[in-house]
Amino acid sequence: MGSRKGPDELLGDLFIDVQHQQIYPDGKTFVDLVPKKRAKSIQEEYTLLRKDPNFDLRDFIGRHFYDLSTTVHKKDPFVIQEGESIESHIDRLWSHLERRNRVNRGSLIALPHPYIVPGGRFNEQFYWDSYFIMLGLAAEGKWQKVEGMVKNFAHMIRKYGYIPTGNRTYFLSRSQPPFFALMVKLLAVHKGKKVYRDYLPHLLQEYRFWMKGVSRVQETEHFAYRRVAQMPDGTMLNRYYDNKVTPRPESLREDRETAQSAKTRLPDRLFLHLRAAAESGWDFSARWLTDPQDLRTIHTADIIPIDLNCLLYTLEETIAEAYNGWLHPVLRGRYRRRAQRRHAGIQEYLWNEKEGWFMDYNFHHHWQTGFISLAGVFPLYAGIATDEQAAKVAERLEADFLMKGGLVTTLIETGQQWDSPNGWAPLQWVAIEGLRRYGYDELAGKIIDRWMATVEMVYDDSHRLVEKYNVTGGDGLGGGGEYVLQDGFGWTNGVYSALKKSFRP
């Protein structure tokens, strides 16, 4: 299966049957298994044997597929050491979460350098997770690992023209929040400005991916093509999208069930919006829903997200900075002007003066979604907010989002994992850095104290570092979403280590 096709495309009926019969409770388990021979041969054998009344599908899978985590990537069990400090625990976890994969295996795509995976069900190099993992590695002086992961992403940009969600064939139709420019900036802290020149071709290629379709927006009903949408004043802003309109292979059963119960919606449109939410990293949140309590009302691809456009502003500014290093004033000026236009578009369409908050914009209806989420801190992180806007955001952040255990993701509880009561490490970091950029060090310090205390409380209780936390109280363990709470956990380890090194040494 050294192919660009995912398991759903290669295995046909076998794939559908395994996922629908829930041979594995988590649909991601099967898409990550590696076939022992050509997929076509397995499929042909399945077609022949499944007619037998004594046929056992579980046994068939066991004979024809193997699990990388118990073979090639097998690790010794991670042993909990009583009394071990959280810092030492994280340091040991890095080697436990490291993978080397220079050969395509099943859905897993080869990468030239070792990488850190998030952990739990996530055994690949995820795009936006990796930036927050790198922060922790950098804080601990593990710059070789940071550079190796940056090189892996540059390799994927060269190979595919963009960075997929992760190095899996079934992720090749979508990306994730574009943090590559921030990875380059992080590496430049260690290696100097030469890094900008080295990675300029990759930054440009990623930018082309996100802006592909600018020349075609006029041909469409809502002036949007792929990941680009034209605003009423002509400004080009971006949305999350996916190049496919089928159920996600790793969540086939769940997506089909959602579509079957949504009788008034076309399945392909629903699948697009589900996939676009997966590209956003916020899968799922009431942020993307018309009815906050009903996933069937998802419409992610109709929305101009505040966080995405702030990250693309940073990408444009980083390209301009890289051209400055090459002494190309014309090209530097071109990308600075693009950044300025995006800056103006964010101010025009995504700031809500009445609410004192930045929010997403529905370009189909030409109005803001009205949904208040922690994504509203990204303009502070990117330096787009005015001082007056930053003051209002800081005030609201402290009044509405700051809980006992850190910042809550949204102000509504839905059962989706990117809503209340969950808090996530990457968003704590973005908020803290954004506040510090505008001089709100005291509030940033409160968030640091509360978030670190939550991580430490859960660690002291269970010796676990988890994917998300309940910041409103209780045992601190996060919940909701399509799968059980995952341990590891890459970005929690990274953000905790970076905060500890910078603010609580």
- Over 262-299, what HEC string results? CCCCCHHHHHHHHHHHHHHCCCCCHHHECCCCCHHHEC
pLDDT in tens, 120-162: 999 999 999 999 999 999 999 999 999 999 999 999 999 999 9
Please tell me the predicted confidence (pLDDT) of residue 70. 86
Stretches in the chain below the pLDDT threshold 50: 1-2
Residues 277-289 pLDDT 10s: 999 999 999 999 9
Rounded to a whole number of angstroms, the CA Rg of the chain reads 22
Which pTM does this prediction carry? 0.97
Q: Given 32, 129, 279, 283, which residue is catalytic?
A: 283
List the one residue out of 137, 132, 150, 136 whose CA is nearest residue 188.
150
For 468, the token pair is 């998300």
Give the closest residue to 190 by CA, choosing from 154, 140, 156.
Answer: 140
- Do 480 and 419 meet the contact criterion of CB atoms below 8 Å apart? yes
Beta bridge partners of 402: 407
- At residue 2, the pLDDT reads 46
Give me the residues paired with residue 410 across strands: 373
Contact 481, 116 (CB under 8 A): no
| Catalytic-residue membership of 400 | no
- Measure the CA–CA gap between 422 and 418, rounded to whole angstroms: 7
Residues whose CB falls within 8 Å of the CB of residue 406, separated by 6 or more in sequence, listed in order: 423, 428, 447, 450, 451, 454, 469, 471
Question: Hunting for tokens 């992760």 — which residue is that?
Answer: 166
SS3 state at 405: coil
Give me the residues paired with residue 225 across strands: 228
Q: What is the pLDDT of residues 487-501, one digit of tens each?
A: 999 999 999 999 999
Q: ∠ CA(199), CA(214), CA(177), 5° rounding? A: 50
Question: Looking at residue 1, what is its pLDDT?
Answer: 40
The contacts of residue 331 (CB under 8 Å, 6+ apart) are 323
- Determine whether 467 is an active site residue: yes
The pLDDT value given to residue 220:
86
Q: What does the DSSP assignment read for 464-503?
A: --BS-EE-SSTT-B---SSSPPPB--HHHHHHHHHHHHHH
What's residue 3's pLDDT? 63
Specify the amino acid at residue 440. Answer: Y
The amino acid occupying position 171 is F
